[in-house]
Structure formats: structure tokens, C-alpha cells
């Protein structure tokens, strides 16, 4: 049976729908950066998703071709994720100003995939798809200590879950630590094209630190 990150690392991908504190180790990702409202049909965000999945599946299917990745094992491509921020806003994100969103769309890479393997996948996809993948990057990210919670329902209703998360950290001696390098983080466990809005499952994660004093 193929290795499934959601099942093997439930503490990272399947939290309960109440806040908890978790320490995330460094992970490597396929990443695409962009700006703008994610709901725009032909916007940068939706374009980023197509780029990510093309490279993710090029790597996943590498064992069937001439290129061999050391330590390869059969796995399920991890879920789509996104780091989000708005310039100068260190309190989270303002859902009423989606046109000011900055994002890094990411898909986790298995630990055995190296930068060399990633570079091969970019070249392979460029050749086979006759498409520009120059926006796609290999990103190592150490997220550190965070509060997270499963959000059920519309993305627009996330502020209610986020408020619970922030109340929880204040009660437990932590404070929010969103900065220029630590972001609002979402992991998308549902496909909005196939799932009813009120049943969407999204992991929401915010960076935190111990309160001063």
C-alpha cells in the first residue's frame, strides 16, 4: 500500500477541530509564489496549482522512466498547502482584502527527494509539456512551534476558528508570531470542486512563541 502522509503524520495533517500546539520539523516543498485574490479564475493562485501538481506527479512517476531517485518508495502525493500574508499585517490576514494577499503555494516533497531530483523534474516537465516552470522552486521551511486547528466549512468562515486558536494560545502562555518569515498556513484536505462548501476540511496553522515576561 502506498505511503500516505496524511495517515502516517496525523499530528500534522489531521488535527481535531479544537486548537492544539504542535512543533513542525523542517520540510521540503515544491513551491510557487504569487499575489492576488485566489478566487480570480485566471489569477496567479490558480495557475500556481497547475504548476505544482505537474512537478509533483513528474517526481512521483519518475520510477517508471529512466531517471531513478535514490530511496524511492511508492507514496500518495501530499495535499496542497498555502502560506498566506499581507504586507505589514502581523495579526493574521484580512479576509476583506483578498486582492492584497501574498502567497506561497506548496506541496510537500518526500524526504528522499533531493534538489538534484527536483531540478530533473523541472527539466523533464518543461520538455514534455512545452511549458514554462521557472516560477517553481525547491523550498526548505522550518515552521517551528505553532497552534493549529481543523476548520470545517467555507474558507470565508475561517476567522471564527482563528479566534478560537488565538484565545487558546493566550490562555496557555503563548502569543502570535506572524512575521515576514512566519505565515498564516493552510492545508487543504478537500477538493472544493468535489466537496460541499460546508464540509470542506482545512488545517489552519499559525506560528506562535512564548509570551514575554
Q: Could you report the per-residue pLDDT of 73-83, keeping only the tens digit for each?
A: 999 999 999 99
User: Mean of the pLDDT values across residues 170-184?
Assistant: 97
Confidence of residue 65 (pLDDT cuts 50, 70, 90): confident
Query: Which whole-number Å values give the CA distances from 164 to 20, 133, 172, 183, 184, in the listed order?
Result: 10, 39, 12, 18, 15
Helix (H) or strand (E) holding 154: none
Check which CATH number belongs to the domain holding 66 and give it.
Answer: 3.20.80.10
Distance of alpha carbon 52 from alpha carbon 106, whole angstroms = 7
Mean confidence (pLDDT) of the chain: 96
Helices and strands (DSSP H and E) totals, the chain: 5, 9
Domain holding 54, by residue range, is 5-210
What percent of the chain shows pLDDT beyond 90? 94
Distance of alpha carbon 177 from alpha carbon 23, whole angstroms = 14
**How many domains, the chain?**
1
pLDDT of residue 212: 80
Instruction: Provide the 3-class DSSP secondary structure of residue 22.
Output: strand
**CB 190 within 8 Å of CB 83:** no
C-alpha cell at 7: 495517515
| Res. 25: pLDDT tops 90 | yes
pLDDT of residue 119: 98
| Res. 213: pLDDT tops 80 | no
pLDDT of residue 102: 97
| In the block, residue with C-alpha cell 514534455 | 128
Confidence of residue 45 (pLDDT cuts 50, 70, 90): very high
| Res. 195: pLDDT tops 90 | yes
Query: Which whole-number Å values give the CA distances from 173 to 36, 95, 208, 209, in the listed order?
Result: 34, 27, 10, 9
Confidence of residue 202 (pLDDT cuts 50, 70, 90): very high
Q: Could you report the per-residue pLDDT of 101-158, keeping only the tens digit for each?
A: 999 999 999 999 999 999 999 999 999 999 999 999 999 999 999 999 999 999 999 9
Whose CA is closest to 4, among 56, 112, 77? 77
Amino acid at each position: 500500500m502506498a505511503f500516505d502522509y496524511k495517515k502516517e503524520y496525523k499530528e500534522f495533517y489531521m488535527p481535531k477541530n479544537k486548537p492544539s500546539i504542535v512543533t513542525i520539523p523542517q520540510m521540503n516543498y515544491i513551491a510557487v509564489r504569487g499575489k492576488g485574490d485566489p478566487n480570480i479564475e485566471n489569477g496567479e493562485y490558480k495557475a500556481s496549482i497547475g504548476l505544482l501538481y505537474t512537478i509533483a506527479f513528474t517526481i512521483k512517476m519518475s520510477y517508471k522512466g529512466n531517471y531513478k531517485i535514490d530511496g524511492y518508495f511508492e507514496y500518495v502525493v501530499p495535499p496542497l498547502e498555502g502560506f498566506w500574508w499581507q504586507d505589514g499585517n502581523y495579526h493574521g490576514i484580512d479576509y476583506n482584502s483578498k486582492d492584497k494577499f501574498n502567497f506561497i503555494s506548496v506541496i510537500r516533497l518526500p524526504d528522499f527527494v533531493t534538489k538534484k531530483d527536483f531540478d530533473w523534474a523541472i527539466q523533464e516537465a518543461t520538455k514534455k509539456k512545452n511549458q514554462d516552470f521557472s516560477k517553481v522552486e525547491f523550498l526548505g521551511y522550518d515552521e517551528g512551534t505553532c497552534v493549529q486547528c481543523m476548520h470545517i466549512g467555507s474558507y470565508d468562515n475561517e476567522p471564527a476558528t482563528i479566534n478560537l486558536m488565538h484565545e487558546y494560545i493566550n490562555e496557555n502562555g503563548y502569543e502570535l508570531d506572524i512575521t515576514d518569515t512566519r505565515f498564516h498556513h493552510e492545508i487543504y484536505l478537500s477538493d472544493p470542486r468535489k466537496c460541499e462548501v460546508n464540509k470542506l476540511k482545512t488545517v489552519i496553522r499559525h506560528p506562535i512563541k512564548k509570551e514575554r515576561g
